[in-house]
């Protein structure tokens, strides 16, 4: 008797799962992430996660970067030549004055790489940027290094940018 019930349940499950409509249409061509990054971007939000705090809450510290009466830090990314320039504003500028930029993978980027005369920053992206997106976010992980070269992550700075 139990085998008949299990067989009936299986038959109903197969019948229900086969009643899906056929998908129609195409997704289209993938967006050009390099073209999506091109443009002028202003800091719109800034937050910090203290990795040494057991709670590891994210604290909104936007007021240090978006201050009435002061310029807001702006980054312009150019597609041609893949250069960037920074117009500093309120808050600390972690990005230098400019240099070249790249993705770790142009088709599906997860990291933005900024190279200046002084240093190279590898910044995890919050999301891929497409030409019609008006926001993107990056993270700047900070660490302490001991005498033997061991690194301990201490804080993550999260920047949200808005396209201008």
Distance CA 125, CA 38 (A): 15
Average of per-residue pLDDT across 79-87: 97
Distance of CA 153 to the CA centre of its chain: 19
Closest C-alpha among 30, 118, 123, 29 to residue 77: 123
Do 108 and 128 touch, CB atoms closer than 8 A?
yes
Q: Is the pTM here over 0.85, yes or no? A: no
Closest C-alpha among 153, 161, 116, 97 to residue 135: 161
Banded model confidence at residue 16, pLDDT cuts 50, 70, 90: low
H helices within the chain, ranges in order?
2-17, 33-37
Q: 88 by DSSP, 3-state: which?
A: coil
Distance CA 66, CA 27 (A): 38
Architecture of domain 33-163: Beta Barrel (2.40)
What integer pLDDT is reported at residue 24 of this predicted model?
72
Banded model confidence at residue 56, pLDDT cuts 50, 70, 90: confident
Per-residue pLDDT reduced to its tens digit, 115-150: 998 899 999 998 778 899 999 999 999 989 899 989
């Amino acid at each position: 008797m139990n085998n008949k019930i299990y067989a009936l349940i299986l038959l109903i499950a197969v019948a229900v799962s086969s009643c899906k409509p056929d998908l129609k249409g195409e997704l289209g061509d993938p967006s050009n992430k390099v073209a999506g990054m091109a443009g002028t971007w202003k800091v719109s939000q800034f937050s910090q996660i203290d990795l040494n705090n057991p709670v590891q809450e994210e604290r909104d510290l936007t007021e240090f970067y978006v201050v009435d009466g002061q310029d807001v830090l702006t980054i312009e990314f150019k597609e041609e030549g893949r250069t960037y320039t920074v117009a500093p504003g309120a808050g600390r500028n972690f990005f230098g004055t400019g240099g070249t930029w790249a993705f770790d993978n142009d088709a599906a980027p997860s990291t933005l790489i900024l190279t200046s005369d002084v240093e190279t920053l590898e910044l995890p992206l919050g999301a891929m940027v497409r030409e019609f997106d008006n926001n993107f976010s990056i993270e700047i992980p900070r660490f302490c290094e001991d005498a033997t070269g061991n690194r301990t992550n201490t804080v993550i700075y999260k920047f949200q940018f808005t396209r201008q």
